């Protein structure tokens, strides 16, 4: 987290701003809106902080703020007050605290990667349509449909289970055809004639949520979008979120509610883009790592927090959407693909499903980089996989002035002699540095031999041995030097060491050298934006030619879309999960040696 004024005085306190991953040091009693602005973050405040618009809502997660003002009690509902909602222009920070800034309060949004592979459509849909003209008469619609189906030689279809659409005040007139949506031969919904069959695919990441609205007949993506996972406020990684559920009564229910509410809101936005109603979503696929999968499905997560890190379930689940709190079509189901292990989840299965559509190579490494990085190696008909605790450094966390990829985050760094060139998200004035920028900075410092293989600064100057200035205070957006510290370099060493040691151990398990790998597929949001040359320079990946690397974006989201529209894809996902040989790194003989070697830059 970036620390603006990183060494607070006795009268100063720290405010963590989530989900941006920013930390600001301010004087106790500072109004939240001023602290947020000092951090270089723009929030909605139409009234310029006078307390009349109510647009600067934030949520207190932890810590102490000044009591509610009369303006807040007038503008905020009792439910909002109970939930910790405050107005940033009215609330003052009295002690160290953590504050969540909802997406609607931010004037500028964090960049979220939702693009992925464009995959061929499989014509074996799970949900199909049958256009039927109900028989005449006064009998219930299902009976009139049953009669019509008998005349169509489709007597095996049961329309009695179908939900009758109420979209746009639909009225079914005698003699007019209707569209009967079917799931496994049973009636799912009765829709207007010609109405599209719509489904949703959701990739639930530890940090970000990405969703896709899909035409189930053609496979066309009608709308896509992404938001931050609001669970970040309760822990930046899944271990801390699991701990939260154990330490706080009702914690599991709270984290599930926050997640599902965010998914519901994201789907509503996509439906608005596509000019359809959420009640027209007939099926939804939800993928995520094992912990997020369990939290979304309302499953216990305690066993994931302690060795041997066993999931409650590994088999695929199909749960009524309303049971997990999603308000879409009444008969819609939520499909959760299979998990492989405690820290190799359904999102990795979805990524592998998508990735194998674009490779014909015989030996493939597939790496999905995130707070938890999953690695799979396919060789000689075998599938080996592992989970690497890479941590949130690539999301900007635990970095002195790190932040997520929001406007003002340094994302590219180039050193030319003594000159430092930086590129920021949105070309905004620099206020911090995100993961790809830190990776670039470390690689460039190593290229110029300003740090050694241990990550230690080589300068003889005492000041230069503590930190490297990327952007001086006079050019930054928060009037503070943007620097890279020795500790920041160490965080990147730990993250890249976790990934590289996992790769090396899978290669060792398969009994092959790195140069036998034909293709390395890099997936995930961070994997989309990282500079491969920088990653290779610091040894994150084996030193192979660049042409063997393929960056595929949000392949987990693309795989979720496949699972939404194809019955055979769901069977393929089962096979991927069942045939995987999981390697537990923490119990692997020689892991410590592999990890120690992988720390070297």
| 180 and 210 belong to one structural domain | no
In a domain, 260, yes or no: yes
Lookup: tokens for 325: 């709190």
pLDDT given for residue 168 in this prediction: 44
pLDDT given for residue 115 in this prediction: 53
Environment class of 419 (CB within 10 Å of its CB; exposed 0-12, middle 13-18, buried 19+): exposed
Environment class of 175 (CB within 10 Å of its CB; exposed 0-12, middle 13-18, buried 19+): exposed
The set of residues, in sequence order, having a beta carbon less than 8 Å from that of 127 and lying 6+ positions away, is 181, 182, 183, 188, 197, 199, 216, 282, 283
- The top-scoring range by mean pLDDT among 113-122, 361-370, 443-452 is 443-452
pLDDT given for residue 255 in this prediction: 95
Residue 38 lies in domain: 3-100
| 387 and 506 belong to one structural domain | yes
| 379 and 498 belong to one structural domain | yes
| 257 and 282 belong to one structural domain | yes
Query: In terms of DSSP H, where are the helices of 101-171?
Result: 141-151
How confident is residue 479, by pLDDT bands cut at 50, 70 and 90?
confident
Q: How many domains does the chain have?
A: 5
| 9 and 35 belong to one structural domain | yes
Please tell me which residue, 156 or 509, carries the higher pLDDT value. Answer: 509
User: How far is 159 from 182, CA to CA, in rounded Å?
Assistant: 9
Residue with token string 């920070």: 93
How confident is residue 306, by pLDDT bands cut at 50, 70 and 90?
confident
pLDDT given for residue 158 in this prediction: 79
In a domain, 117, yes or no: no
| 568 and 533 belong to one structural domain | yes
User: How far is 448 from 452, CA to CA, in rounded Å?
Assistant: 10
Q: Tell me which of 7-21, 194-208, 250-264, 443-457 is least confident.
A: 7-21
| 331 and 350 belong to one structural domain | no
Inter-residue contact 395 to 432 (CB < 8 Å): no
CA-wise closest residue to 577 among 331, 366, 415, 349? 349
pLDDT given for residue 371 in this prediction: 80
- For the whole model, what pTM was predicted? 0.79
pLDDT given for residue 155 in this prediction: 78
Residue with token string 């810590």: 63
| 545 and 515 belong to one structural domain | yes
Residue that finishes a domain, picked among 192, 226, 244: 192
Residue that finishes a domain, picked among 139, 173, 192: 192
Is the pLDDT at 1 greater than 60? The verdict is no
Is the pLDDT at 109 greater than 70? The verdict is no
In a domain, 513, yes or no: yes
- How much is the average pLDDT of 299-307? 90
User: How far is 336 from 294, CA to CA, in rounded Å?
Assistant: 10
Query: In terms of DSSP H, where are the helices of 318-434?
Result: 346-355
Radius of gyration of the chain (CA): 26
- The reply to whether omega before 492 is within 30° of 0 (cis) is no
In a domain, 487, yes or no: no
| 329 and 362 belong to one structural domain | no
| 69 and 19 belong to one structural domain | yes
| 354 and 476 belong to one structural domain | no
65-83 pLDDT tens trace: 999 999 999 889 988 999 8
Inter-residue contact 408 to 396 (CB < 8 Å): no
In a domain, 119, yes or no: no
Residue with token string 């996509």: 270
The set of residues, in sequence order, having a beta carbon less than 8 Å from that of 544 and lying 6+ positions away, is 514, 515, 517, 520
How confident is residue 39, by pLDDT bands cut at 50, 70 and 90?
confident
């Amino acid at each position: 987290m970036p620390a603006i004024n990183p060494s607070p005085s006795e009268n100063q306190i720290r405010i963590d701003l989530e989900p941006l991953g920013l930390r600001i040091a301010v004087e106790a009693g500072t109004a939240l809106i001023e602290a947020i602005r000092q951090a270089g973050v723009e929030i909605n405040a139409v009234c310029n902080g006078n307390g009349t618009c109510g647009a600067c809502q934030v949520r207190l997660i932890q810590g102490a703020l000044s009591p509610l003002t009369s303006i807040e009690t007038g503008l905020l509902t009792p439910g909002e007050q109970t939930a910790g909602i405050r107005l940033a222009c009215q609330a003052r920070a009295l002690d160290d605290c953590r504050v969540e800034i909802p997406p609607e309060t931010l004037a500028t949004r964090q960049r979220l990667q939702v693009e992925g592979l464009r995959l061929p459509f499989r014509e074996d849909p799970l949900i199909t349509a049958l256009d039927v003209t109900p028989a005449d008469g006064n009998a219930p619609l299902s009976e009139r449909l049953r009669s019509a189906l008998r005349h169509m030689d489709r007597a095996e279809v049961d329309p009695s289970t179908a939900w009758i659409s109420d979209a746009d005040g639909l009225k079914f007139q005698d003699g007019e055809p209707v569209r009967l949506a079917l799931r496994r031969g049973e009636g799912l919904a009765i829709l207007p004639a010609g109405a599209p069959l719509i489904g949703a695919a959701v990739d639930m990441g530890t940090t970000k949520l990405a969703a896709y609205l899909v035409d189930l007949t053609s496979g066309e993506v009608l709308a896509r979008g992404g938001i931050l996972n609001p669970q970040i406020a309760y822990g930046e990684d899944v271990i801390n979120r699991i701990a939260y559920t154990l330490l706080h009564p009702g914690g599991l229910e709270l984290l599930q509610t926050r997640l599902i509410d965010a998914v519901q809101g994201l789907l509503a936005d996509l439906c608005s883009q596509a000019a359809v109603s959420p009640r027209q979503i007939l099926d939804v696929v939800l993928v995520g790592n094992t912990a997020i999968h369990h939290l979304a499905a309302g499953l216990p997560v305690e066993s994931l927090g302690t060795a041997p890190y066993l999931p409650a379930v590994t088999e695929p689940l199909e749960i009524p959407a309303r049971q997990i709190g999603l308000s879409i079509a009444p008969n819609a189901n939520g499909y959760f693909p299979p998990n492989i292990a405690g820290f190799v989840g359904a999102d990795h299965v979805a990524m592998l499903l998508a990735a194998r559509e674009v490779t014909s190579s015989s030996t493939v490494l597939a790496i999905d980089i995130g707070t938890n990085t999953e690695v799979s190696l396919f060789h000689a008909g075998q599938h080996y996989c592992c989970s690497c605790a890479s941590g949130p450094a690539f999301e900007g966390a635990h970095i002195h002035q790190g932040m997520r990829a929001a406007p003002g985050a340094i994302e590219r760094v180039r050193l030319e002699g003594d000159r430092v060139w930086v590129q920021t998200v949105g070309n905004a004035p620099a206020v911090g540095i995100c993961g790809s920028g830190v990776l670039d900075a470390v690689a460039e410092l190593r290229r110029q031999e300003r740090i050694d293989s241990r990550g230690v600064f080589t300068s003889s100057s005492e000041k230069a041995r503590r930190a490297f200035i990327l952007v001086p205070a006079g050019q930054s957006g928060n009037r503070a030097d943007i620097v890279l510290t020795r500790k920041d370099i160490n965080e990147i060493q730990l993250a890249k060491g976790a990934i590289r040691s996992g790769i090396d151990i899978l290669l060792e398990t398969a009994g092959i050298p790195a140069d036998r790998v034909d293709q390395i597929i890099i997936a995930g949001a961070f994997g989309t934006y990282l500079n491969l040359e920088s990653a290779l320079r610091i040894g994150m990946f084996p030193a192979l030619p660049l042409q063997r690397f393929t960056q595929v974006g949000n392949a987990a989201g693309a795989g979720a879309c496949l699972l939404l529209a194809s019955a055979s894809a769901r069977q393929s996902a089962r096979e991927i999960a069942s045939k995987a040989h999981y390697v537990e790194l923490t119990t692997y003989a020689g892991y410590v040696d592999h990890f120690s070697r992988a720390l070297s830059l």
